[in-house]
Amino acid sequence: MKIRIGFEIAYRLPQATPMILALNVHHSRVGDLRRPDHLMTSPSVTTSGYRDLFGNWCTRLVAPAGRFVVSSDTMIHDSGVPDTVAATLQQIHVERLPESTLVYLLGSRYCETDLLSDFAWKQFGNGPTGWQRVQAVCDYVHRHIEFGYQHARRTRSAFEAFNEGRGVCRDYAHLAITLCRCLNIPARYCTGYLGDIGVPPPDGPMDFAGWFEAFLGDDWYTFDARNNVPRIGRVLMARGRDASDVALSNTFGPNDLDGFKVWCDEVH
């Protein structure tokens, strides 16, 4: 299937402001793009790109004072197959995990493993392991957090989401990631596009989505505690320890968000 993906984000800036943007499709999906997902700016500015420590493609620029718009609009091919389910996979003992996964066992800005470790082992320590344990974590988080766009708060951590019992997709992901790490399962945060293919339309406007990947067997697998069902048409943009590593934009100066649109629609 073909999916049209893109966005338009507008800022108001009182002065020229450096920015770092992580708004491109992840390199693992570049081969599926029908045309390059170049970032367009208005007014036009010079940009440069680099890969960060997690392999994500980032764009550097200096936005001029006034209204500044960043946008992209492209098409991507997708298999149309839902997220993989491999229910018999087991987790790997910590001493045998690949070194590249070990950073995803540690606490991070939004994932306070030290505050949730005791709860994680009490809640899940006597249950199944491997894939079934990660799914049990997703089931718990899916039930525990009440979803609502009005609950969005960019500073909310996993421990705060656990205590408040409400949030948006990134809060579901952060809490699930934290519980998995407490249980010695490497887990990393993902952000990208997730349209409404095969499911009823959402109640609110389209936005970028947050989910996570857990390392089981010898590979990473997608889990989504917010939706908690395999979904079609997931398009990865960036991965990291938590949302702080995959911020859509880092702006190094005062600014106001003046517009925000995202689209991810199947093309028939």
Q: What is the CATH number of the domain that holds 69?
A: 2.60.40.2250
Residue 192, pLDDT above cutoff 70: yes
What's the count of helices (H) and strands (E) in the chain, helices before strands? 4, 14
Read off the pLDDT of each residue in 56-65 and give the average, rounded to a whole number. Answer: 98
171 domain-assigned? yes
Checking if the pLDDT of 201 tops 90, the result is: no
Mean pLDDT of the chain: 96
In a domain, 86, yes or no: no
Same domain, 190 and 252: no
Inter-residue contact 87 to 128 (CB < 8 Å)? no
Is 108 in the same domain as 123? yes
Verify that 36 and 119 share a domain, yes or no.
no
Same domain, yes or no: 228 and 253: no
| Same domain for 236 and 252 | no
34 lies in some domain: yes
Residues 133 and 193 in one domain: yes
Q: What pLDDT score does 202 carry?
A: 67
Instruction: Determine how many CB atoms are found less than 10 A away from the CB of residue 174.
Output: 31
Q: Give the distance from CA 255 to its chain's centroid.
A: 23
Residues 109 and 224 in one domain: yes
Residue 248 tokens read as 């859509």
Clarify whether residues 228 and 180 are in a common domain.
yes
Give the number of domains in the chain: 2
For residue 63, being part of any structural domain is answered with yes
Mean pLDDT (whole number) for 19-26 = 98
Same domain as 152, residue 118: yes
**What is the percentage of the chain residues whose pLDDT exceeds 90?**
94
pLDDT value at 204 more than 80: no
CB–CB of 7/263 below 8 Å? yes
Q: What is the DSSP letter of 108?
A: B
CATH no. for residue 169?
3.10.620.30
User: With contact defined as beta carbons under 8 Å apart, do 266 and 40 qualify?
Assistant: no
In a domain, 185, yes or no: yes
Q: Is 160 in the same domain as 222? A: yes
Q: Give pTM, 2 decimals.
A: 0.96
239 & 108 share domain:
yes
253 is a domain residue: yes
Alpha-carbon distance of 29 to 239, in angstroms, equals: 13
Both 223 and 136 in one domain: the answer is yes
Q: Render pLDDT for 133-180 as a digit per residue (tens, 0 to 9).
A: 999 999 999 999 999 988 999 999 999 999 999 999 999 999 999 999
What is the span of the domain harbouring residue 224? 94-246
